Amino acid sequence: MSTPEPFGARLRHAMDTRGPLCVGIDPHASLLGAWGLGDDVQGLETFTRTVVEALAEQVAVFKPQSAFFERFGSRGVAVLERAVADLRAAGGLVVMDAKRGDIGSTMAAYAETYLRKDAPLFSDALTVSPYLGYGSLAPAVELARENGAGLFVLALTSNPEGAEVQRAVREDGRSVGATMLAHLAAENASAAPMGSCGAVVGATLGDLSTFDLDINGPLLAPGIGAQGATPADLPRVFGAAVRDVVPNVSRGVLRAGPDAGALRGAAARFADEVRAAVAAA
């Protein structure tokens, strides 16, 4: 059996060819309403199908937020399963935003849900929470590596409440967030062109020069668009690591719908702005 190409290598190629952009698929009730859709499974399905058909062959990375599908029960999860399959079939990479975190056999079960090759929700990468200890993620790290998938570990998130945990200082003088970044750097140490274990680092956090963001892996950066950050902010926030940033835009693109051409235009503008900001850094 051939070894699957690692997520980090596939991600680098996708961003270099399709543009450095991740579009979040977040079908929350207000957005469904703005599109003239009902807050029900039919509205969810129409919304998701429209986004997939408009952007699947253009955008490098997609990040569906699992909760917005799960709230409709099994029928909502079925919509998510189809979206994941269709996006991947069109060459898009899927980062499942589920933020799973647990210990032992439970963490292994979460990993199998999203990172096992034949699973209905198999994704190119999964967001995970390390706050039961980084070692608790071992089942996900191992299964991701086995199947050529990746992880994005919550490290320095954009929500204000995150600081009380992530910037807390350990006995060794290093913050919890910095410790997570160090773990990821160790995971990615020998990878080329880029490791498959990434960090979630908010684009709204301002100067992060006191943190070592050089983890030889991707940095998933939420907060661009509706949350206030812009592509032009990326070099200031991420410094020398800016080329490894995967900027996530959700409402900034999705609010252009339901017109498919408008969705494509919004995504293209954000990708061009990110590309220009990175080139100027």
Residues recognised as catalytic: 99
Cα 96 to Cα 99, 182, 235, 279, 280: the distances in Å are 8, 23, 26, 28, 31
SS3 category, 216? coil
CA separation (Å) from 202 to 84, 113, 154, 198, 208?
24, 26, 10, 13, 10
**Cα–Cα distance measured from residue 161 to residue 157, given in angstroms and rounded to the nearest whole number:** 9
Number of Cβ within a 10 Å radius of residue 36: 10
Three-state SS at 61: strand
What is the spatial distance between Cα 117 and Cα 43, in angstroms, rounded to a whole number?
A: 29
| Element spanning 111, H or E | helix 104-115
Q: Give the span between the Cα atoms of 165 and 222, in whole angstroms.
A: 18
Give the SS3 label for residue 105: helix
The total of other beta-carbon atoms located within 10 Å of residue 220's CB is 26
Size (the chain), residues: 281
Rounded to 5 degrees, what are φ and ψ at 191? -85, 150
Pair 213, 178: CB distance under 8 Å: no
d(CA 99, CA 3): 27
